[in-house]
Amino acid sequence: MAELQKQIEKFNHEKAMQVKQILKDKISSVKGINFLPERVDLDPASLKDIGFQLKAENERLFAVFTGENDGKAMMLVAYSRGLDKRKKPEPRNNGA
């Protein structure tokens, strides 16, 4: 039984790495931000792992993943630390 579990985990990892490569190819630039909105049907742990890897590999990444697992909706938002340092917009003067 333990051997079967190891094979399942290996298969899930390989599938996740294939999905990650596909996702990398779908990243688009929007106003200087690498944006990736995508539906991904993987287990939550694999999806979280992919999110961490992509944000480590891509500066200024903002990714939103949605999916379903065991009949439940899930969503993961991942963003690079480079986005934290973005200059805040100046306050608007509304004629006051």
The mean per-residue pLDDT over the stretch 69-93 comes to 78
CB 46 within 8 A of CB 16: yes
In this structure, what are the phi and psi dihedrals at residue 18, rounded to the nearest 5 degrees? -65, -45
Contacts of 7 (CB under 8 A, 6+ apart): none
Residue 11 lies in a domain: no
Q: Using 50, 70 and 90 to split pLDDT, how confident is the model at 95?
A: low
Please give the mean pLDDT across all residues of the chain: 87
Residue 89 lies in a domain: no
In the predicted structure, residue 85 carries a pLDDT above the cut 70: no
Residue 8 is predicted with a pLDDT of 87
First to last CA, the chain: 72
In the predicted structure, residue 23 carries a pLDDT above the cut 60: yes
Domain with 42 in it: 26-82
Residue 61 lies in a domain: yes
State whether residue 1 is helix, strand or coil: coil
Residue 94 is predicted with a pLDDT of 62
In this structure, what are the phi and psi dihedrals at residue 19, rounded to the nearest 5 degrees? -65, -40
Count how many domains the chain has.
1
The mean per-residue pLDDT over the stretch 36-55 comes to 92
